[in-house]
Amino acid sequence: MEIRKSSKFTGRLFKNVQPIWEKSHRHPFVQQLGEGTLPREKFAHYMKQDYVYLIDYAKLFAAAVTKARDLETMEHFSKILHETLHFEMELHRQYAAEFGISRKELEATKPTPINLAYTRYMLNVAQNGTLAEVVSCLLPCAWDYWEIGKLLRKQYGERISSNPYAKWIDTYDSETFGEGAKSLIKLMDELAEGLPERELALLEEHFQITSKYEYLFWDMNYYEHDWPI
């Protein structure tokens, strides 16, 4: 699947989001993940915040089930929801434990202002928007994590095997994760087909905003930002 050369809607999304994604890819959190030099306390902060993010992210899949207009799409999002709640979050707990973070700590974590703003933006869209709008919000996290996984593999190659964050890179560079991202890309194109420009522009706005939140998420975890009061 060659997104970069696609004439479909996701080709447009990919082209126009590059300034945002490239800034994310150069962020010290991402690059130090690839180098294996990211301080453990910053990664621990990320793991805890990502856990509470995933709880709300899963709700978007539930919303997508209710927005779907055919059984096949309902089944698709129901499966993703089940896998997120019963497998992905358990893997997250197991990986967090390797860094000394207990399930109790994960579940006691309170979202930072950026985390809260990001998830509430998406949940608001899920409550009030169409299925296409929900997918446009879901897509940047899934797609850009895949892009980051591939990028770090290309940049750091064999050095990753001795990297303390190798499992993280392996996960997001994996064929399994890539297939999940591609399924959302494909669905985004199907849902966008035939829509008037005003609706496409709204979908792109959601995609751009949530991509900006992805950058802010890296930044928030790198500098360990939390409530100032």
From the list 133, 147, 204, 214, the catalytic residue is 214
Q: Name, in order, each residue with C-beta under 8 angstroms of 100's C-beta and a sequence gap of 6 or more.
A: 44
Cα(174)–Cα(229) distance, integer angstroms:
40
Catalytic annotation present for 137: no
- The token pair at 60 is 């978007």
> Is residue 141 annotated as a catalytic residue, yes or no?
yes
Query: Are 156 and 35 within 8 A, CB to CB?
Result: yes
| Residue 81 backbone dihedrals phi, psi, to 5 degrees | -60, -45
Torsion of CA 214, 185, 78, 98, to 10 degrees: -40
Contact in structure between 56 and 183 (CB atoms under 8 Å): no
Cα–Cα dist 195/198, whole Å: 8
The active-site residue out of 133, 141, 147, 204 is 141
Query: What distance in Å separates the CA atoms of residue 113 and residue 223, rounded to the nearest whole number?
Result: 13
Cα–Cα nearest to 123, from 208, 57, 54: 57
CB neighbour list of residue 84: distance below 8 Å, 6 or more residues apart: 54, 57, 58, 61
Distance (Å, whole) CA 125 – CA 163: 38
The catalytic site residues sit at 141, 214
